[in-house]
Structures are given as C-alpha cells and as structure tokens.
Amino acid sequence: MSRAISKDGPVRALGAMSGTSLDGVDAAVLVTDGHDILRFGQTAYRAYTTAERRVIAAGFGKWQGPEVQAAAEVVEAAHIALLTDMTDIDLIGFHGQTLAHAPRTRGTLQVGDGAALADRLGVPVVWDFRTADVELGGEGAPLAPFFHHACARFAGIDGPVAFLNLGGVGNLTWVDPAMPRPQDEGALLAFDTGPANAPLNDLMQSRLGQAFDEGGKLAASGQVEQGALELFLAEPYFARIPPKSLDRNDFAEMVALVGELSDADAAATLTAMCAAAVAEAMQHCPSLPSRVLVTGGGRNNPVLMQMLAVSLDCSVGPVEDTGLDGDMLEAQAFGYLAVRVARGLPTSCPGTTGVRAAVGGGTVSVPSRGEG
C-alpha cells in the first residue's frame, strides 16, 4: 500500500535495476531521508530466462521499433512478477533497461513504462532518471555516485575511496566523504572505466552457450594475448578526461580482437582487458584512494579480482568488506535516488556526469486509480 511522500523524514524506498549484463532484475528496499541511509531492507532477484534475454538483447543499440517495444514488454513483465510480492513500500525507483546510450548525439534510452508500473503496483514510481541530465549536457551516467557518497558515510569511511562496479560495463566513483554534500566540488568524480563483463559474457554465450565464465574458470586456463591487450588499451577512450560514459556495445570492435584465439585464451584476454581498463582509470582519480571497493558481479570472478590486485597501487576487495551488499548496491541506489527526486534534491553534478549544474533527474508517476 502506498503512502504520500512527506517533505522530510524517512521513506521506505524500493529500487529496481535491470543492468547491462542482462542477468536479471535486482530489487532492494532501503530507508532513507534522501540524504542519509538509515537502514537496508528486503532484497529480491529474478533471473531473465534465455528467451527473455534474447528479446532484450535484440533491442540493444535500437532507439525505436518493434524490437524496442518487445524488450520493453519483457522488462515490465519481469519487474511486475518480481515486485508484486514486495509490500509496505512508499516509493519505487525504477531504472528500467538501457537499450541505447549516446548522450552526445541521440540521448539515452531506458525502456519500461514507470507510469504503467505505478498503476499495476499502486505505489508512486520515479523513473527516466537519465534524460534530464543529458538534456543539461551531462553523460546521463553513472548515477550511482550520490548513493556511493551516502554509502561511504553509512560505512563510516573517512578518507577517499573508490567504488568500482563491475557489471556489463565498468564504472568507478572516487568519493571523499569528508566533503559534506555529494554535489560539493571535490566530493565525487565518476565515470565508466570500459567494458567489464559484457564482452566475456557475449563470448561465453556465442562459443559455449553459457551465460558467463563461472568463477573465471575458463580464463584461468588460458593465456592473455598481449598484442590484443595493447591494441585495446590504445583506444582513445582510456586517456579521455572524465566524466565519460559508454554504451554496452561501444567496444564490440575491439573485442573482435580475440576472435582468432582459443576459447580459454580469448576469455583470459577479455578478463585482462576489463582489469587493464580499470588500471587506466586510476590515473583520472583526484588522489589515490585508500582502497577500491568492488561491487557488481565481477567481484565474484577470482581471476578478475587477482588481475586487479596485481595492477592497482592500492588495496582491492569486495564492497562486503565494509558491510555493504555488492549484489544489490545498484538497486539500492535507484531507491535512494528516487527519494532525492521526490524531494527535489539533485542526483548528479558536474563531477559525476559532466552536467552543467547539479540536477535532479526523474519523472514521478503516481497510480492513476489511487492506492493499489
């Protein structure tokens, strides 16, 4: 049952995220006033079936047409199936599924209709988080950094650290929680590091019919092809000054570099590319973080984690080291951001997306037939 969102005080917010790796939908509840995290709550996950994954993947890189419509329907139905049982929620932050992202030319497209979701679930829904930022000159991504700032404060961290999300695409947030507000200059710097698991997942799917390289086992049995890695690192994206962001398939051509390699060597090389992109990213941080806290599915890949430990000049570990939940951080982020949007607070700033000024992005849809 939904309650009106008050101007201040705690809100029980549910965030739902369908990420670029296409594994499934994550949902997580947290209680926040839009500034501080008061506590974390229930979590849920629903994997996409192979058939659903195929429909959504057919929409990647497309801005309109039947494939986009079909993908939107799958995304909405998966969210309704997952969220129907999650009760006692004041507000939902619904990210949707990114199909296409070209902020400097065509914009950014997340599918799934938040207004329809509000009607079906009887709870106000905040959605379309990225468009307002892009319209003000921003990259529209990454958006989790304001939440990372709150997480760093929640975890009692007192100096600069980096949050590294290794999903389909990698993104990094350098955060100094000593600065009181995330939009203060010097509090945050964020950007996408490069491809993370998406190319490896695509390789596993196309060559072996598997969704991902479980435990990094295939990569562990192969050799990194240095020539391919060097060509990958010559891509100008890595030297570009942030903020900067990527579409899921922006590096598809580079990944063709492993096309002639054996399965194991190709997996090892793609894993090394992900780690090397992160190592390149560190040069852009305002100062060396005391540690890199890894979130997202890539932290479960020991080969990738080992490659990061070898190539970074600071300690690396899963975000669980600070008591946070690396499977749910992004879903929680969109619950947190939903409360900020509902309260007129900014969700991005020049340091996180390159937007001209701090802006609150998102559309609020209330159920059209009252409470559900």
Comparing CB distances to ligand ATP, the nearer of 25 and 121 is 25
Binding site for ligand AH0 (CB under 6 A): 19-20, 98, 101, 108, 141-144, 165, 167-169, 171, 192, 245, 330
Partner from ligand ATP, ligand AH0, none contacting 59, C-beta within 5 to 8 A by type: none
Per partner kind, with CB cut-offs from 5 to 8 A, the member of ligand ATP, ligand AH0, none near residue 213 is: ligand ATP
Q: b vs e for 104-126, b when ≥16 Cβ sit within 10 Å of the residue's Cβ?
A: eeeebbbbbbbbbbbbbbebbbb
For the window 250-289, what string marks contact with ligand ATP as x by the rule CB under 6 A? ----------------------------------------
- Residue among 76 and 213 whose Cβ is closer to ligand ATP: 213
Residue 214 interacts, among ligand AH0, ligand ATP, none and using kind-specific CB cut-offs from 5 to 8 Å, with ligand ATP
Assess 247 for contact with ligand ATP (CB under 6 A).
no
356 burial type by CB count under 10 A (0-12 exposed, 13-18 middle, 19+ buried): exposed
15 is an interface residue for ligand ATP by CB under 6 A: no
Partner interacting with residue 34 (select from ligand ATP, ligand AH0, none; CB below 5-8 Å by kind): none
Question: For residues 267 and 331, which CB has a smaller minimum distance to ligand AH0 in the complex?
Answer: 331
Residue selected from 96, 216, 350, 367 as contacting ligand ATP according to rule CB under 6 A: 216
Task: Say if residue 321 carries a ligand binding annotation.
Answer: no
Interior/surface letters 63-84, b for 16+ CB within 10 angstroms, e for the rest: eeeebbeebbebbbebbeebbe
User: Rounded to the nearest whole angstrom, what is the least distance from the CB of residue 94 to ligand AH0 in the complex?
Assistant: 13
Nearer to ligand AH0, 101 or 284 (CB): 101
24 known ligand binder = yes
Among 93, 138, 140, 167, binds ligand ATP (CB under 6 A): 167
On whether 361 is known to bind a ligand per the annotation, the reply is no
222 binds ligand ATP (CB under 6 A): no
Q: Among ligand AH0, ligand ATP, none, what binds residue 338 when CB lies within 5 to 8 Å by partner kind?
A: none
Is 359 marked as binding a ligand? no
Residue partners of 338: CB distance under 8 A and separation at least 6: 13, 15, 91, 92, 93, 94, 125, 126, 362
Binder among 168, 182, 350, 354 for ligand ATP (CB under 6 A): 168
Measured from the CB atom, is 36 or 214 closer to ligand ATP? 214
Nearer to ligand ATP, 112 or 367 (CB): 112
Q: Out of ligand AH0, ligand ATP, none, which partner does residue 141 contact, by CB within 5 to 8 A per kind?
A: ligand AH0
Q: Which does 144 bind (CB under 5 to 8 A by kind): ligand AH0, ligand ATP, none?
A: ligand AH0
Under a CB-based contact definition with an 8 Å cutoff, are residues 76 and 112 in contact? yes
Give binding residues as ranges: 19-26
Q: Which residues bind ligand ATP (CB under 6 A)?
A: 19-21, 23, 165, 167-169, 197, 201, 212-216, 296-298, 300-301, 330
Give binding residues for ATP as ranges: 19-26
